[in-house]
Amino acid sequence: MFDFFKKKPADSAAPQPSPAAPAPATAPEVAPVEAAPIASTVTAPAAAPETNSAPADARSWAARLRDGLSKTRAKLNAAVGPTLGADVGDVMSDLFSRRKIDDELLDEIETTLLTADCGVDATQYLIDEMRKRWKRDKLETGEQLKGVLMELLEGLLTPLQQPLDIHTHKPTIIMLAGVNGSGKTTSIGKLAKRFQAEGKSVLLAAGDTFRAAAREQLQEWGRRNDVTVISQDGGDPAAVVFDAINAARARGIDIVLADTAGRLPTQLHLMEEIAKVRRVIQKADPTGPHEVLLVLDSNIGQNALAQLAAFDKAVGVTGLVVTKLDGTAKGGVLAAIARTNPKPIRFIGVGERIDDMQPFVAREFVEALFDAAPAK
């Protein structure tokens, strides 16, 4: 079922997101709110919606998270792996367990943190703190230092562990933004199913009006999954979202998920367009949007910081969905975000299945990053 959203195979080796959708010749105008077209297509769910037939993954989330983070874990291990000749899954433990603490070990840890995309700022912070604790607490073994690093990382990431509130507003309006291919549409499907499972009714706004295929995919998905989709043939994304909010209100829907077309921060007219989408949401509901989720593909590593800054400036990002942690060795970027532009990480994704996206839990993440022991 979920493959329906799959437009292209995930390219785990790709260091950058796929190129931007072609920009329209002229930036589409956002219709004034009063004049918002009422010609949106309402794709009502089928009478007897199909249920999600994707086979459930028998492994626990902890096991999938750990497996998903194996590339980042391997990267963290890289500095010492070859010399120890151990399986990458075990090397992190070996790094710490077989060595005494010295400056050389700290230098190696510094390099591995940098190559796992923790960024200069977070790496410096972690190394400085580890050095302090080494001296202050008279640590001797690498194993003790590993405990300190885990503790520090958890301390860094815990403030970002803030669940998304879907209960305060009705409808709760959630807008998704991001570059092309970051995983917006897939995330919308995962979120819709998750919210439905929590007993909430969901309506989708097909705000990606550039790609007809994107609209059709959402419509078809909505038909099969008991989710109403509001769309328009081409036209104005802001008007689609405006209609969707009114439709949700009229139908007593709990949550509106507004898709938007992918765009690069360098496409200034498209960044202006998404800012207008946000403003029109506010006109439709002065309390909204209640969440502006930026979907970040973790493969882009440090580039995530620039994307976050640009989208934040344009639409005021209130939460992050970090996708594709399974295909990357750059999971350290979460630490970089925590240090330089902390935003709540609402969900992380480690695969394409519906249950491969879960709320971010700092402790789980850090344990998965270090612990190579097989989880059930």
Count of CA atoms in the C-beta half-sphere (13 A) of 371: 17
**According to the binding rule CB under 6 A, does residue 231 interact with ligand GTP?**
no
User: Look-up: residue for tokens 């497996």?
Assistant: 67
Which stretch in 184-192, 249-257, 272-280, 305-313 sits in contact with ligand GTP by CB under 6 A? Answer: 184-192
Q: Which helix (H) or strand (E) holds 282?
A: helix 268-284
Which stretch in 52-60, 128-136, 218-226, 318-326 sits in contact with ligand GTP by CB under 6 A? Answer: 318-326
What pairing do the DSSP bridges indicate for beta strands 228-231 and 41-43? antiparallel
> 175, 265, 351, 369: which one contacts ligand GTP (CB under 6 A)?
351
The DSSP call for residue 231 is: E
**Does the annotation flag 180 for ligand binding?**
yes
The DSSP call for residue 141 is: B
Q: What are all long-range contacts of 362-367, with beta carbons under 8 Å and residues at least 24 apart?
A: 362/153, 362/154, 362/157, 362/158, 362/160, 362/161, 363/154, 363/158, 364/61, 364/62, 364/65, 365/65, 365/69, 365/157, 365/334, 366/150, 366/153, 366/154, 366/157, 367/62, 367/66, 367/150
Total residues binding ligand GTP (CB under 6 A): 26
Which stretch in 94-102, 142-150, 160-168, 183-191 sits in contact with ligand GTP by CB under 6 A? Answer: 183-191
Count of CA atoms in the C-beta half-sphere (13 A) of 236: 21
Q: How far is the CB of 341 from ligand GTP (least distance, A)?
A: 21
**According to CB under 6 A, which residues from 276 to 295 bind ligand GTP?**
295
Sign of the torsion angle spanned by Cα atoms 337, 338, 339, 341: positive
**According to the binding rule CB under 6 A, does residue 183 interact with ligand GTP?**
yes
> 70, 182, 228, 318: which one contacts ligand GTP (CB under 6 A)?
182
The DSSP call for residue 100 is: B
Which stretch in 44-52, 115-123, 133-141, 181-189 sits in contact with ligand GTP by CB under 6 A? Answer: 181-189
> 352, 366, 369, 372: which one contacts ligand GTP (CB under 6 A)?
352
**According to the binding rule CB under 6 A, does residue 6 interact with ligand GTP?**
yes
**According to the binding rule CB under 6 A, does residue 117 interact with ligand GTP?**
no
The binding site for ligand GTP (CB under 6 A) comprises: 5-8, 10, 178, 180-186, 208, 214, 262, 295, 323-324, 326-327, 349-352, 356
Q: Name the binding residues for GTP.
A: 178-185, 259-263, 323-326
